[in-house]
Structure 1
Amino acid sequence: MSTDAVAGPRRTDRPLDEAGVVTAVRRAAERGATVRPTGATGRIPGPLARTDDVALDASALTGVVRIGPAPANAPADRGPGPDTPGYTPGDDTTVRVRAGESLAGLCAALAASGRALATVPDAPRATVGGAVQLGMYGGAPAEGSLSAQVRAVRLVDGTGRVREVTGPDLDAARCGLGALGVLTELELRTVALRRLRVHERTAATEELLAEGFPGAHAWTELDVAVHSGQALVRTADPVDDDPAAGDTPDPAGARTWGRAVSRLAASWAEWAEWSGRPGWPPPPRWAPGTEGPPHEVLPDPQPWDPDLAEWAVPLDALGPVLRELGAAVAARGRELRPVRVRTGAAETGLLHPASGRATAYLRIRTRGTSQEPVRRLAGAVCEDAGGRPCWTTRTNWGPDEMAVAYPGWDAFRAVRDRYDPDRIFTDPYLADRLGS
């Protein structure tokens, strides 16, 4: 059987609380079954969410437990405290949330308290636990992904034991791929809620990179037409020094939806303009100076596309990779849809694609089997530049490739051996990637 697709789970358990998770894991262990934790059905993308044995749907574990300073007895590695140099009130404010809560629900609850996530991934309907386990990223050059914001996790391991994970093991759990256990709660760093002003424009990619563009704004995103070197640029920066806690959000997410339509239409219209294709209507745009809280104006809530290929390349390799992609597709007479580019800081997560290095994330969009050669070509260019495939995309990498690409590979395996010695949390796809 292909490890990229399975018929579906033999059984789906939907525990209502942590005790139910413990029961489900222990029952599976007694029966010799394997378990793959997921959020709501279909909401966590990619082959890592699929199994032909027991699926454990944790989407009922919802709600925010606490927003405020970490408990007085919390380990020091959970973040800054009053004794930390440069500390200002609010720096130690974290949120404790159940793993099945959606990103949209968490962001709304934080906004009501004048707080926000330091990075806001796409896929607002994804669960917090799933987004962390897969290393979903945002577009803030100075920040890491959602995984990097984790200060503690609570999980049920392969023996049915409940663990509160902090300290060195936390770096294995930050992007654990569901291989260490079923997350039930997470504690995340927060920042003060600020309104952002968003702009769109077009520019030459080489000029942007020469100016050090990815680090010049609080949030950036490029859609790059690699054959022409032109880019549709989106940036966002705080409006002023005033917090946005008292602002009234746009009704029914209208601004988010409008932005998603703008992105999609603009990307394709710019592509048509740059490639000389006639007949495309003028693209709708954000109005200059569009403003709103981060969780309303930043995410691009398009459905996950199984033909997406996402790669994390070293930030200093971004320019060469984009040039090589353009040259490679041109030499073969191929077309490549605009490549979406975001950047992020180096991370400590052992299996996070940005582990140990500042990173540029490339989202490469293809369509169907006819464009599989383009997909493979783009993957080869990224891999040659030291790229790592993101966990939301298909990959043929196995343990040998993982050991070379990730300095923390052996450390992760050691944690996995302790947390899941009998490999309860596996399936054929994960076994091919991580080994037995």
Structure 2
Amino acid sequence: IVSLEKIEGLVSHEPAADRARVGAGTRLGALMHILQGIGQGLPNMGDIDKQAIGGALGTATHGSGPTLGAYHTQVEAVQLVDGRGKLREYSRADDPDMIHATGVALGAFGILTEVTMNNIAAYRLRRRKWVLPIGDMLRDFEKMMAAHRSAEFYYIPFSGYAQFIASDLSDAQPTQRPTEDDERGLATLRKLRTVLRRLPSLRRALIKGAVKKVPSEDYVQDWLNVYVSDRRTKFNEMEYHLPFEEGPKALAEIIALTEKHFSEVYFPMEVRSVAPDEFWLSPFHKRLTCSIAIHHDAANDPLPFMRAAEPIFRKYGGRPHWGKMHSLKAADFKKLYPRWDDALAVRRDIDADNRFVSPYMAGLFGIE
């Protein structure tokens, strides 16, 4: 195991270009404060900040917004160590194909040591949250997701309701962010699942009543105080990235499957959008994407639920998140990624001796 913990922090920055070079082991939580300190910001984020930037890039980690790309779309240049210990440097200006090949690399295209990222000037966001019937959300999906700089929603199983989250740029003064209550809400959903498992109608009625009473939120904060949420309850997760227009149909089928056959599920389902990009192994390669994530309590076996849901995702042309559960192998990926063979050729050049190929990676890449 190679740890990049010591390869972290700011290396250099270009104020005029809102560009910064950092160690690949820099945690996103630290990176936010580094960038804010030099007047820069990440254009978008997911809701977890514990990952190192190198890992976030390598697995195509993302936030939400139809015009906002995943973290790897910010890459201007990379420095990596190849399989024979040679230091390599690639940049958009000199090697655009190599940036597109190595930007999403799963850790198998060398050890990323430093990355130069194109950021934006530090900014503020107005964030709003409200609940609405899931039928309305699915009907107005494209309009609602396109109406905001960043938008996502959660469907609460067995409730019939979704919570919509919208974030837009703001010049207003910061206001108090409401106290986060996600963990307590999750504990309530878990308790209702456990106590009322044999009384599904009562469970549904109580959850529906509770969700309808969830208060709306509306506040303004600096970007680094908006995106991240508290995530302490452990779970297993599957996330698939679908053609944007297929999202509502796939989600409706996942909801029906869950509520008919998997009463143990209580985690909300997360739905996001991601802009298309040119990176060869990006799940968002050349298509506007709807991402749907399903979750299962880590204390219980997730496989029956995940195995039942995965064919629905695949039916709609889904590409799995590289860092989450899925069952696909090399032959499947070859059909999903037009530049698959080109990417593997670059991987062989960087790591001719397969030093970075674990048994799991061998299955992904079809290496014997």
Q: Is TM more than 0.5 here?
A: yes
- Measure the CA separation in 1 of the matches of 2:73 and 2:116: 11
Q: Structure 1 residues 285, 111: CA separation in 2 closer, same or farther (over 3 Å shift)?
A: farther
Shift of 1:305: 4.0
Which residue pairs with 1:11 in the alignment?
Answer: none
- Aligned-residue sequence identity (percent) comes to 26
Post-superposition Cα deviations, 1:267-300, rounded to whole Å, max 9, x if no partner, equal 6768979822379978996773322122211122
Which residue pairs with 2:270 in the alignment?
Answer: 340
Work out whether 1:61 is the aligned partner of 2:22: no
Q: What runs of 5+ residues in structure 2 fail to find an aligned partner?
A: 193-201
Superposition map of 1:406-425 within 5 A? 406-425=337-356
Q: Structure 1 residues 196, 435: CA separation in 2 closer, same or farther (over 3 Å shift)?
A: same
Which residue pairs with 2:79 in the alignment?
Answer: 154
Which residue pairs with 1:373 in the alignment?
Answer: 304
Q: Structure 1 residues 293, 269: CA separation in 2 closer, same or farther (over 3 Å shift)?
A: farther
- Measure the CA separation in 2 of the matches of 1:301 and 1:343: 21
Post-superposition Cα deviations, 1:196-255, rounded to whole Å, max 9, x if no partner, equal 111111113343344411111112121114655421111111223x7x8xx8x99xxxx5
Q: Structure 1 residues 152, 301: CA separation in 2 closer, same or farther (over 3 Å shift)?
A: farther
Which residue pairs with 1:86 in the alignment?
Answer: none
Among 226, 233, 239, the alignment partner of 1:297 is 226
Among 135, 142, 146, the alignment partner of 2:60 is 135
3-state SS of 1:56 partner = coil
Higher alpha-carbon deviation: 301-310 or 187-196: 301-310
- Measure the CA separation in 1 of the matches of 2:85 and 2:364: 24
Q: Structure 1 residues 61, 351: CA separation in 2 closer, same or farther (over 3 Å shift)?
A: same
- TM-score scaled by structure 1? 0.73
Which residue pairs with 2:197 in the alignment?
Answer: none
- Measure the CA separation in 2 of the matches of 1:278 and 1:106: 38
Q: Give yes or no for contact 2:310–2:326 (8 Å, CA) kept in 1.
A: no
Q: Structure 1 residues 264, 233: CA separation in 2 closer, same or farther (over 3 Å shift)?
A: farther
Superposition map of 1:170-319 within 5 A? 170-211=99-140, 212-225=143-156, 229-240=160-171, 258-259=179-180, 262-266=181-185, 275-277=204-206, 288-303=217-232, 305=234, 307-319=236-248
Higher alpha-carbon deviation: 151-160 or 321-330: 321-330
- TM-score scaled by structure 2? 0.86
- Measure the CA separation in 1 of the matches of 2:273 and 2:169: 18
Higher alpha-carbon deviation: 92-101 or 118-127: 118-127
Among 285, 291, 299, the alignment partner of 1:361 is 291
Shift of 1:325: 1.3
Q: Structure 1 residues 119, 178: CA separation in 2 closer, same or farther (over 3 Å shift)?
A: same
3-state SS of 2:77 partner = strand
Which residue pairs with 2:20 in the alignment?
Answer: 95
Note the aligned Cα RMSD (angstroms): 2.9
Among 298, 315, 321, the alignment partner of 2:250 is 321
Q: Structure 1 residues 285, 124: CA separation in 2 closer, same or farther (over 3 Å shift)?
A: farther
- Measure the CA separation in 1 of the matches of 2:243 and 2:123: 29
Shift of 1:332: 3.4
- Measure the CA separation in 2 of the matches of 1:137 and 1:343: 9
Shift of 1:153: 0.7
